[in-house]
Structures are given as C-alpha cells and as structure tokens.
Amino acid sequence: MNTSIIHQARTKIRVLIVDDQTLLRRSLVTILNPVADILVVSEATDAASSLAAARSLLPDVILMDIHLSNGSDGIEATRAICSDAALRCTKVCMLTVFDDDASVFRALRAGASGYLLKDTPPEGVIDAVRTINAGRSLLSPGVLSTVIAHAHPAEVLSVPLSALTSRQTEVLRLVASGLSNDDIEERLGISHSTLKSHMGALLRRLGARDRAQLVIAAYEGGLMGTR
C-alpha cells in the first residue's frame, strides 16, 4: 500500500463490508467511497475472512450481514470481532433485510452497535457509518425496547450493577428507559459535561461499547424490573 493510501486510511472512517452478495457489496462501495470522510478498505464474504480482514486492517466500522450463507454466521463473526482485544476500537453494524427482533437482539448481545436495513437509502447508509463510528448506537429507543422485550429469559446474564454508584444507576435507568441525553440532563438537573462523565464511567465499569450495550446491561442486570 502506498503512502497516500495509508494516509487516507488513517484520516477517514475505515469501513469493512461483509456480505455474501456481490451486488450489495459493490453497491455499498459505490455509495461510501465517494464520501470525503469514508473509505472502504476491504470486502469479505464469510465469517472467517471478515475476522482475518478485521485483524489485518483494523477498520473503524464493519457493515456485517446478519445472515451469511454457506454455513457462516454474521452474529458469531461479530462476537469474535467484538471480543478481540486488538479490535476494541472497531464497531460493528449489522445488515439485515427485515426487522428480526430475535436476531437483532442476539447481534447486540454479541457486541454489535446497531443494525441497518438493506433497503436503507444511500444517505442513511452514510449517516449510519458516521453514527456508529462516533460511538453512538444505531437504534431508536423504541426499537431497542422492542428488541429487548423479545429476549428469551434464558439468554439473560448478570452484570455487576452493584458496583455502580447511586447516581450512575439512576443515569443507567434513564438511558434504558429511552431518554435522550438532553432529557436526562433536564431530569437530573446536571450539565452536559457531568452526564458525559457519568456515561464514560458506565461504559468502563460495565464493559460496554456504546449506548445500546448499556441498555442491554440494564435489562440483563434486572434494573428495569420483570419483563
């Protein structure tokens, strides 16, 4: 790779596209590569090649097909990527053809930061990459609540919510209730910087990557009561 390409890869949002359909991969490349702050660094067609590409290229964002063919599982690939310490800064956005609550929940549990429907218009795809890269979840509060409501009780795992301070627990409860940052700040009478500090502490203590993971932690830890 020449110097100019390396520089581009370091200054743009680096994207890896994982899908077994050539047409979709090429369409996403066509949508994303002309954007000034985005660069598609590679494509992959299955779980094994996606993990290898991620470890080699360290992309910022991976657009991962939730249902790969040929016995390959996009959710398990996501789990492997998100559990790899070398890929802490890599965020995964699932690609799906329809709202499948059970699969989306499994993907979030595996570490994905959100999901994107495959019929999303080009500007939505671009916004999604930027949103995921910025560390925000790509799920509206309503959709996230619906996904969590469909989780099977057997899948629930305990998280160390007892380690949180009372204020952090309060913030987590409000986040899991679907409130925006502005709403939480107004409800608690705190500043933006104070909330940012609480959110950072929650992410660190609960080992969460983003807001979506915090909501799941709240439900898994029983903070939101019986479903």
CB 94 within 8 A of CB 118: no
Distance, first Cα to last Cα, the chain: 52
Neighbours of 69 (CB within 10 A): 11
Instruction: Count Cβ atoms within 10 A of the Cβ of residue 149 and give its class: 0-12 exposed, 13-18 middle, 19 or more buried.
Output: exposed
DSSP structural state of residue 202? H
How big is the CA angle at 139 (ends 16 and 149), to the nearest 5 degrees?
A: 125
- Chunked in runs of 10, what are the mean pLDDT values of the chain (227 residues)? 50 95 95 96 94 96 89 88 92 84 79 87 94 79 61 53 90 86 93 94 85 80 66
CA dihedral 116, 98, 211, 74 (to 10 degrees): -80
pTM for the whole thing?
0.76
Domains and CATH numbers, the chain: 3-138 (3.40.50.2300), 153-220 (1.10.10.10)
Question: Residue 140 and residue 67: Cα distance in Å, rounded?
Answer: 22
- So what's the pLDDT on residue 35? 97
Structure token digits, residue 198: 């609480």
